[in-house]
Structure 1
Amino acid sequence: MARMLMSSVVMVALFTAAPAPKSQPLTWKVTGSDVTFEMSSKDLRALRGGKEVFGLLSRKKGFLEDLKPDPEETRDMSDWEAYHSFKVLSVVGPWASYEESSSGYTGGAHPYAHSGYVTWDVTKEHGAFNLLDVFPEKDVLQALKSDSFVKEHIDDAKAFNDAKTVKALMEILKPGEDCVGFNSSGLDNVKRSVAFHHVEGDKVAVRIAFNYDNESCRGNMFVVGVLLPIPEALKPALERARTRQEGFLMKDARSAKAPSLSFEWEGADAKKP
């Protein structure tokens, strides 16, 4: 009888216990700055003075606003759709890198699809970041020239060897059968479409994502990996990211539980009251 009474007490306690608290976002302050990052399973945010200066989840409002139909729109939109997603890849100092993808159909001759990397400097207006401001251009150029995938797209061997800038290199690479957009948007990709993957001794592995060359290859993305000597000024931030004191590198994104999120919209929704 006593055993039965004890069991009843335990059951009451289980049913009346307070729910477990929700997990708090992981936060860290970027050394030498006023930037604080907050990362949860659903979002990555950067705040300065308590105000959000970078965020992914907050972009949903703009995504939906861009798709808001014109009141004078007469076309049938029931088969329209749009999808947008973000996958955080690395955070080094004030630089947040992520893969951004968008696809769908919103009228016209064919659907659209695009994927790429973006690095956002949360301390700069509009997230301005330029890899060539961080690493000497000669090092980036040499690393690209040494890459086997890049070499497959040489159109003019002499021009390739003579190229003294990344811009000149991109201009003489051919798209090839795989339709790589080296000479259409390659320079912009090298500047900003990057993520920091891992550290090897005194070098850091950087991933650069290149777009497709033309609409017949829409949706394709090509990632080139290069090893770059680490500038002295970058070593402390990279070390803090490597050890996950502040941020993380791409190789650790999964174990760091870096967020992925997506927004969806269907044209039929526009007709709902």
Structure 2
Amino acid sequence: MERMLMSSVVMVVLLATPAPAPASPQAKTWKVTGSEVTFEQSPKDLRALRGGKEVFGLRSREKEFLSNFESDADTDTSNWEGFESYKVLSVVGPWVSYETSISGYTGGAHPYAHENYVTQDVSKDPGAFSLLDAFAEKDVLKALKADAFVRKHIRDDDAFKKARTVQAMLESLDPGEDCVGFSSGLDAVKRSVAFHHLEAHKVAVRIAFGYDNESCRGNKFVVGVLLPLPVALRPAFERAAKREEGFLMKDAKAAQAPSVDFAWEPSDAKKP
């Protein structure tokens, strides 16, 4: 009887012992092979450094965001509001792809709203990245022409078939009821992209097209294409796929890809 009671006590103690707390997410640092770029990733930020100087960051954008709402003698911001979010989608070599969401009101008849993808080459000046420089344009054109969503919006079938450049192909499309911004879509093909996963020697690329006009503001349309992966780019993409240096979009959650949110409201705004 005494042995039975002792066993019961041991069992109660074991059941009452709390499970160990899950390990908190840790910061991660890696240097991009063959470059001067070092990334520092934490649960709340992603920074890229060159020579110890930040050339890309999420949290550091807050100061500029807030500066847009500073009052002066000529501007009444009492009824303004603004919201911005940045979510990292993929990091391949020195290329950071992220999703932006920007909305608010700064006077006038309507609020504003915009969502987009952006890829930035942090080893170069902002805006220097272009998908059409990194991948053969003929391959991008072929993949877009084969996409069902793109083909659904053909306005001029003959011009679509004859198009030899992405720009010419986009000009043959119609925004349709979806209100897709194909008319300004060349910039989207160049820079509004993220890298999703690898298939053999191809990479799945997501391209985010914006909206055609203000009546459909805030919309974005993501097209997925498979592109042949140039030999020179394979090592960087393979390291990202293994999460040795960066990560691809399909692994963003597992890689604890960071995101940030900024908000500004008048100081006398009602709080929930």
Q: Normalising by structure 1, report the TM-score.
A: 0.88
Q: Equivalent residues in 2 for 1:1-273 (5 A)?
A: 24-73=26-75, 75=76, 77-183=77-183, 185-268=184-267
Equivalent residues of 1:83, 1:262 under 8 A apart: yes
Shift of 1:128: 1.6
Instruction: Output the amino acid matched with 2:113.
Output: A
Distance 2:124 2:229 in 1: 22
Distance 2:268 2:229 in 1: 50
Q: Find the residue that maps to 1:170 and give its secondary structure.
A: helix
Shift of 1:267: 2.8
Q: Deviations over 1:125-174 (max 9, x none)?
A: 12420000010000000000000000010001000000000011111211
Shift of 1:56: 1.0
Equivalent residues of 1:79, 1:268 under 8 A apart: no
Instruction: Output the amino acid matched with 1:138.
Output: K
Aligned Cα root-mean-square deviation (Å): 1.6
Aligned residues: 248
Distance 2:101 2:26 in 1: 27
Distance 1:23 1:258 in 2: 11
Distance 2:72 2:205 in 1: 43
State the identity %: 69
Unaligned 5+ segments in structure 1 are 1-20
Equivalent residues of 1:194, 1:208 under 8 A apart: yes
Shift of 1:49: 1.3
Equivalent residues of 2:25, 2:43 under 8 A apart: no
Unaligned 5+ segments in structure 2 are 1-22
Distance 2:69 2:209 in 1: 27
Shift of 1:210: 0.3
Shift of 1:25: 1.6
Distance 1:249 1:27 in 2: 17
Shift of 1:78: 3.4
Distance 1:269 1:26 in 2: 40
Shift of 1:252: 0.1
Q: Deviations over 1:67-89 (max 9, x none)?
A: 2122222x4x4332100000100
Distance 1:245 1:86 in 2: 23
Instruction: Output the amino acid matched with 2:228.
Output: P
Instruction: Output the amino acid matched with 1:240.
Output: R
Distance 2:69 2:120 in 1: 24
Q: Find the residue that maps to 2:267 and give its secondary structure.
A: helix
Distance 2:26 2:51 in 1: 20
Q: Deviations over 1:156-198 (max 9, x none)?
A: 1000000000011111211000100001x20000000000000
Q: Deviations over 1:180-220 (max 9, x none)?
A: 0001x200000000000000111100000000000000000
Q: Find the residue that maps to 2:247 and give its secondary structure.
A: coil
Q: Deviations over 1:40-69 (max 9, x none)?
A: 111110001111111111010000112212
Equivalent residues of 1:80, 1:268 under 8 A apart: no
Q: Deviations over 1:208-246 (max 9, x none)?
A: 000000000000000000000000011000000000000
Distance 2:195 2:115 in 1: 18
Q: Find the residue that maps to 2:161 and give its secondary structure.
A: helix
1:117–1:170 CA distance, 2 compared to 1 (3 A): same
